[in-house]
Structure 1
Amino acid sequence: MSLKSMKPLARAPLLHVSVQESLRAYISDNGLKPGTPLPAESDLANQLGVSRNSLREGIKALESVGVLESRRGIGIFVKAFSFEPLLDNLAYGLGGALRQIEEVIEIRRTLEVGLIGKTVEMIGGDDIAELRATVDRMRVHAERGQSFADEDQLFHTLLFRCQNNETLARLIDVFWLAFYKASDFVNLDNVDPVATWRDHAAIVDAIEARDVAEAQKRLDRHYHGISRVIAANKKSANMGGAQ
């Protein structure tokens, strides 16, 4: 296959940024798929009219955002799309900013409540049984006063698995993981795990009854519970600052 070449770059102060833009355009213009190797570094540098050091800076930047990957001794390859770079930046960007965490939760709430109706219509008995088993494990942890983050993540994954929407599944994972990674920066401990377990059980009850309105209401109520945790931490942070 004959590939389109790249034009030599002007010597800009941020040359590596121009290298990144040109490499992105090269991938797009040539319709390169994940796993496709790029030409050798020397060839790319010649096409762009830049040094190999400038080229490598641009490549490293694209590796950091998941566009390219270098395989030692083999070459540079187009990487399959991943939400991981977004997740890392999102969790870091949230930091201790409770307002931004609230906004992420609101997006997640809107997404899940809006799509739960489709789950009610599509979900099968096997997925409902898995949801029940997950809720049962939540109950065991809750009654011991323990957290159940793993079960919580699995629960929300199972809620939408029947829709066979890979992008939706990844987005839900991104928002869930961003929230829990943000707990590295601020205290987001659940003070009432029993209430949270009951929220999840009520969601499954509504889904099994094929009651869309009730499922939406229960899921929405669950997110209001998360918002109360954040609000309590806001109040605590404000009181601490006033001391």
Structure 2
Amino acid sequence: MAKRQTVSEVVQHYIRDYIVENKLRPGDQLPPEGDIAETLEVSRVSVRESVKVLQALGIVEVRHGNGLFVRGLNFDALLEILSYSLLFDQSSLKELYQVRKLFETGMLPEVIEHIREEHIQTCYKHLQDWEQNMTQGRPFRDQDRLFHVTLCQAIGNNLLVELENIFWIAYRNAVNKTFPDIAQRAYQITLDNHYKILAAVEARNVELAQQLMADHFEGIKERIEMKVEEAAE
């Protein structure tokens, strides 16, 4: 026997179906909450609660004073769930490390095929800013993220770029909270590795770039395992 839908589920499905059936695009406006309530013969409170759920899922957004709109592609809900779960499960952190390793090494052939000089120079700029900020004691980790995002952007696939951001931010948040005292030397090693990877990409050497990226992640794995062992002592 099929499970009976709650009022909230009915409203959520109605809004989802409305978006699809009317071929709405990100930024397009949906009917007012009052109209939805009247159409479905439910209370405005029920519609408002359903909208909150869809907001949390990144499907719609409420612009106060303007109404309800379709939201563009995003993975905010995935990032929040992933970041939260990683705080309590170190095995998940190791699995995410493996996902990042496979993701980063696997995309390099496509990156090297499509990358243009402007992407390469942007990557060098991120690394130079990283080095300067680190030397001057300023925040530098976002330059690491931007380096990887720029490589993804070379492929021209927005979904890949979004996933890159998700994997990097979730992983970095978990590492920062779990191992807040990673030595400065480790970040210098990471920076040096990035310069080597970029040089291989610039030389269009797929095999070398993939090997350097894999070695880079193996180094990260070793440092994480060392920190786990220290914490257990």
* Shared fold per TM-score greater than 0.5: yes
> Under a length normalisation based on structure 2, what TM-score does the superposition of the two structures give?
0.86
Provide closer, same or farther for how the CA distance between residues 88 and 102 of structure 1 changes in structure 2, counting only shifts above 3 A. Answer: same
Contact in 2 for aligned 1:66/1:85 (Cα 8 Å): yes
Residue by residue over 1:75-118, the C-alpha shift from the partner in whole angstroms, topping out at 9 and shown as x without a partner, is 22222221222212221222232211121221121111111122
Provide closer, same or farther for how the CA distance between residues 33 and 218 of structure 1 changes in structure 2, counting only shifts above 3 A. Answer: same
Structure 1 partner of 2:65: 73
Matches of residues 41-60 of structure 1 in structure 2 within 5 Å? 41-60=33-52
Structure 2 partner of 1:165: 157
> Distance between the aligned counterparts of 2:216 and 2:17, measured in 1?
44
What's the RMSD between the two structures over aligned residues? 2.3
Q: Which among 156, 163, 178 is matched to residue 170 of structure 2?
A: 178
Contact in 2 for aligned 1:69/1:78 (Cα 8 Å): yes
Structure 2 partner of 1:214: 208
Structure 1 stretches lacking a partner, 5+ long: 1-11
Structure 2 partner of 1:8: none
Structure 1 partner of 2:88: 96
Provide closer, same or farther for how the CA distance between residues 74 and 111 of structure 1 changes in structure 2, counting only shifts above 3 A. Answer: same
> Distance between the aligned counterparts of 1:95 and 1:63, measured in 2?
24
- The aligned amino acid for 2:158 is E
Structure 2 partner of 1:129: 121
Contact in 2 for aligned 1:59/1:68 (Cα 8 Å): yes
Identity %: 32
Structure 2 partner of 1:24: 16
Structure 2 stretches lacking a partner, 5+ long: none
Provide closer, same or farther for how the CA distance between residues 63 and 229 of structure 1 changes in structure 2, counting only shifts above 3 A. Answer: same
How many residues end up aligned between the 2 structures?
228
Cα deviation for residue 57 of structure 1 reads 0.7
Contact in 2 for aligned 1:143/1:194 (Cα 8 Å): no
Contact in 2 for aligned 1:94/1:100 (Cα 8 Å): yes
Provide closer, same or farther for how the CA distance between residues 126 and 55 of structure 1 changes in structure 2, counting only shifts above 3 A. Answer: closer
Structure 2 partner of 1:120: 112
